[in-house]
C-alpha cells in the first residue's frame, strides 16, 4: 500500500555490510551497520555461532598469539605460540586433552612461520622491528630454523654441523677400484634425512686396481645422526691441495648405519659407479638463519626475510628441506627497504611478495639462483599471514589464492583480480591500521564457502560466498567477541579455531 505518495519497497535478500564511505549510497538489501550476524541460505540472516573452549584441561594455554593447523602422520593437530611479552613458547596441542611442550622456547619470539614436510614441522621464530617508524617482520637475530618430529620431543635446529677430524684410508682385501689418486670424506645423515656437507677429508690416497679400500677414524656426530656415508672423488690427475675443489660422489654401499661404528672395511667401487653427486652439500648452511615466512615449492623449502637479508629468499635442494646452499640457493628481489612478507606456489609458479610488490620465479631445472624473475605487480602484495589457507590443508586452491592486500581481500590467479572481493566494504578495509597488518590472517573454508579474516583491531571479518565468489555476490559481516581475536586456523577439514589472550 502506498504511504504519503510512496510505494512500499520489499527487501527479501540480505547482502551483508556495505561501506564505501557514505551510508546514503548503500544499495537496497545491504546493511550499513551490523555485527555478529551470519548468512543462512541465499537470503536470510541469523546470529553468529557461539564459541566453546577447545582445550579441556585444568590450565588451558593463555596469551596465544599464533596458531597453525599441523597435520601429523596420524592426526590433525595445532601448533600454538604463547607469548608473554618477553619469551615465546610453542606448544603442540594434539587434542582437547593432550598438550606437548613447550617444544620450542625462544626469548623475543613474538611470532613464528611454519610449514610441514613429510610429517615434520619446520618452525622459524620472528618478530616485529620498528625501522624508520615502520613496523617490519623478519627473523630473529642469531636464531635459526628448527624442526619438530611431532612426538613431543623438543624441536631441534634444522640442518647440522659437518663431521670433524680426518678420515683414514688404507688398502683393503682383494677387490676393485680404479687405480689412481682419490680423496675421501664423510657425510652425516640425521634422523630428518638431512645430509651434512662432506668433511673430515682424507689425505690424498692412491688406490690399487686389484684391491678394495678400508676406512678407520670415521667420525661420529650429534645424537640425531643416524648414518654416515663415505664419499669420494674420481681419479685426480693434477692435485692442487684444495680438498674442497673437487666433485665428490656417494660410494654405493659405503654407509655406516649407526652413530657408533668408526670402521668400514673392504669397499670396492669403480669410478663409473660414482653417480650421485654430493658436492652440492659443500656450501649448505650448517645452521639455517630464522626467517619470517616458510613455504614449499617443487618439494623445496623456501625461507625468506632473515634478520640480515630482508629481500632474499633461500631455497633448498629438492626433497631435502634442510639442504640450503649459501651460494646457489638464493633468490634476490630488488631491494627497496621493504621486507619480503610471503611466498607461495600456484600453478607451478613460485610467487614472492612484499607488502606492495609481487614477483614470480619459475623452476628451470637448474640451481635456484638462475631462476628468472618476473614482475607481477608493483603496487600490491600481502602481509606476513595474508595468503589464505584452504580448509585444514594449509595450501592454496589449485586455481587461485584468496589473499589480503592494502587494497582489500582479493582473488589472486596470477594477478590480483579487481575490483577486490571486499569492494563493498572498501572503506572498512581502508580504515584498518596498515602498520599492524601482521595481525591479518586468512583461512578459506571451501566446504561451507566461508572466508575468515582476523583484523588489526582484533575483530573477525566473515565472508560468505555461497552465492558466488565475486565482489557483488560475496556477503561480509564483522564478528565481535568478548575477547580479542589474535589468530585462527581450520582443523578437521572446516572446524574454525580462534585463539586469543584467554586461550583457544
Which single residue is written with the C-alpha cell 612478507? 341
How does strand 495-500 pair with strand 460-464?
A: unpaired
Q: Are residues 308 and 449 in the same domain?
A: yes
Which of these three, 232, 250, 281, is where a domain ends?
A: 281
> Per residue in 313-325, pLDDT tens?
999 999 999 999 9
Residue 98 within any structural domain of the chain: yes
Same domain, 328 and 397: yes
Give the per-residue pLDDT at 9. 67
> Do 274 and 351 have their domain in common?
no
First to last CA, the chain: 52
24 domain-assigned: no
Asked, for residue 406, whether it belongs to a domain, the answer is yes
In a domain, 7, yes or no: no
Q: Is 106 domain-assigned?
A: yes
Contact residues for 312 (Cβ-Cβ < 8 A; gap 6+): 304, 306, 330, 331, 332, 333, 340
Tell me: do 330 and 434 sit in the same domain.
Answer: yes
Q: For the chain, what is the domain count?
A: 2
Asked if residue 43 is part of any domain, the answer here is no
Q: Residues 148, 197: one domain?
A: no
Q: Within this chain, do residues 154 and 178 fall inside the same structural domain, yes or no?
A: no
Q: Identify which of 233, 252, 228 has the alpha carbon closest to the alpha carbon of residue 243.
A: 233
What are the phi and psi torsion angles at 477 (to 5°)? -155, 145
Query: Which residues of the chain fall below pLDDT 70?
Result: 1-6, 9-12, 391-398, 502-504
Q: What is the pLDDT of residue 13?
A: 74
Same structural domain for residues 204 and 83? no
Q: Do 406 and 457 fall within a single domain?
A: yes
Residue 97 resides in a domain: yes
Torsion of CA 292, 311, 402, 407, to 10 degrees: 110
Calpha distance 55→71 (Å, rounded): 18
End of a domain among 263, 281, 299? 281
Per cent of the chain over pLDDT 70 is 96
Same domain membership, residue 186 and residue 143: no
Is 57 a domain residue? no
What pLDDT is recorded for position 471?
93
User: According to the model, what pLDDT value does residue 42 have?
Assistant: 74
Q: Are 176 and 209 in contact (CB under 8 A)?
A: yes
* CA 29/CA 33 separation, integer angstroms: 12
CA-to-CA distance for 401 and 382, rounded, in angstroms?
11
Distances (CA, A) of 1 to 9, 12, 235: 10, 17, 100
What pLDDT does 398 receive? 60
Closest by Cα among 350, 337, 342 to 304: 342
Give the Cα-Cα-Cα angle 389, 395, 397 (nearest 5 degrees). Answer: 85
Range of the domain at 354: 64-159+285-500
Domain of residue 292, CATH code: 2.130.10.10
C-alpha cell at position 443: 583461512
Q: What Å distances lie between residue 250 and 25, 160, 255, 274, 278, CA to CA?
A: 71, 19, 9, 6, 6
How far apart CA 490 and CA 226 sit, in angstroms, is 35
* Torsion angle of C-alpha atoms 197, 200, 204, 205, degrees rounded to 10: -110
- Do 125 and 218 lie in one domain? The reply is no
Domain termination site, one of 234, 255, 281: 281
Note whether 76 and 118 are same-domain residues: yes
Distance of CA 456 to the CA centre of its chain: 22
Residues 211 and 297 placed together within one structural domain of the fold: no
What integer pLDDT is reported at residue 32 of this predicted model? 87
Amino acid at each position: 500500500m502506498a504511504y504519503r505518495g510512496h510505494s512500499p519497497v520489499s527487501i527479501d535478500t540480505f547482502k551483508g555490510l556495505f561501506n564505501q564511505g557514505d551510508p546514503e549510497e548503500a544499495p537496497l538489501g545491504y546493511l550499513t551497520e551490523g555485527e555478529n550476524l551470519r548468512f543462512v541460505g541465499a537470503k536470510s540472516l541469523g546470529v553468529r555461532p557461539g564459541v566453546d573452549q577447545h582445550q579441556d584441561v585444568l590450565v588451558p594455554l593463555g596469551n596465544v598469539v599464533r596458531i597453525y593447523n599441523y597435520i601429523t602422520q596420524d592426526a590433525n593437530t595445532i601448533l600454538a605460540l604463547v607469548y608473554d611479552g618477553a619469551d615465546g613458547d610453542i606448544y603442540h596441542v594434539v587434542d582437547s586433552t593432550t598438550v606437548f611442550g613447550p617444544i620450542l622456547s625462544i626469548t623475543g619470539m613474538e611470532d613464528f612461520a611454519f610449514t610441514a614436510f613429510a610429517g615434520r614441522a619446520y618452525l622459524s621464530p620472528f618478530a616485529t622491528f620498528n625501522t624508520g617508524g615502520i613496523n617490519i617482520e623478519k627473523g630473529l637475530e642469531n636464531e635459526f630454523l628448527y624442526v619438530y618430529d611431532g612426538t613431543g620431543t623438543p624441536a631441534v635446529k634444522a640442518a647440522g654441523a659437518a663431521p670433524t677430524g680426518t678420515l683414514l684410508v688404507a688398502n683393503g682385501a682383494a677387490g676393485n677400484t680404479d687405480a689412481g689418486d682419490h680423496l675421501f670424506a664423510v657425510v652425516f645423515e640425521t634422523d630428518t634425512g638431512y645430509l651434512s656437507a662432506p668433511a673430515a677429508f682424507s689425505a690424498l690416497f692412491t688406490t690399487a686396481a686389484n684391491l678394495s679400500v678400508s676406512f678407520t677414524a670415521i667420525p661420529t656426530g650429534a645424537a640425531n645422526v643416524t648414518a654416515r656415508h663415505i664419499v669420494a672423488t674420481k681419479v685426480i690427475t693434477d692435485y692442487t691441495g684444495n680438498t674442497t675443489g673437487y666433485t665428490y660422489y656417494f660410494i654405493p654401499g659405503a654407509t655406516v648405519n649407526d652413530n657408533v661404528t668408526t670402521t668400514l672395511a673392504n669397499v670396492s667401487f669403480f669410478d663409473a659407479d660414482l653417480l650421485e653427486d654430493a658436492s652440492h652439500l659443500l656450501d649448505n648452511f650448517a645452521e639455517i638463519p630464522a626467517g619470517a615466512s616458510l613455504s614449499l615449492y617443487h618439494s623445496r623449502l623456501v625461507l625468506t626475510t632473515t634478520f640480515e637479508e630482508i629481500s632474499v629468499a633461500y631455497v633448498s635442494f629438492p626433497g631435502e628441506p634442510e639442504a640450503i646452499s649459501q651460494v646457489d640457493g638464493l633468490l634476490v628481489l630488488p631491494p627497496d627497504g621493504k621486507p619480503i612478507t610471503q611466498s607461495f606456489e600456484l600453478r607451478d609458479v613460485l610467487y614472492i611478495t612484499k607488502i606492495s610488490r609481487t614477483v614470480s620465479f619459475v623452476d628451470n631445472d637448474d640451481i635456484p639462483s638462475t631462476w628468472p624473475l618476473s614482475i607481477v605487480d608493483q603496487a600490491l602484495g600481502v602481509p606476513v599471514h595474508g595468503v589464505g589457507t584452504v580448509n585444514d590443508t594449509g595450501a592454496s586452491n589449485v586455481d587461485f589464492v584468496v589473499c589480503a592486500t592494502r587494497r582489500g581481500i582479493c582473488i589472486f590467479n596470477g594477478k590480483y583480480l579487481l575490483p577486490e572481493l571486499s569492494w563493498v566494504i572498501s572503506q572498512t578495509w581502508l580504515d584498518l591500521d596498515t602498520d599492524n597488518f601482521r595481525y591479518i590472517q586468512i583461512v578459506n573454508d571451501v566446504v561451507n564457502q566461508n572466508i575468515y579474516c582476523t583484523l588489526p583491531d582484533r575483530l573477525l571479518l566473515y565472508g560468505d560466498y555461497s552465492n558466488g565468489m565475486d565482489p557483488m555476490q560475496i556477503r561480509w559481516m564483522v564478528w565481535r567477541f568478548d575477547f580479542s581475536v589474535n589468530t585462527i586456523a581450520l582443523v578437521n577439514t572446516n572446524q574454525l579455531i580462534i585463539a586469543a589472550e584467554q586461550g583457544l
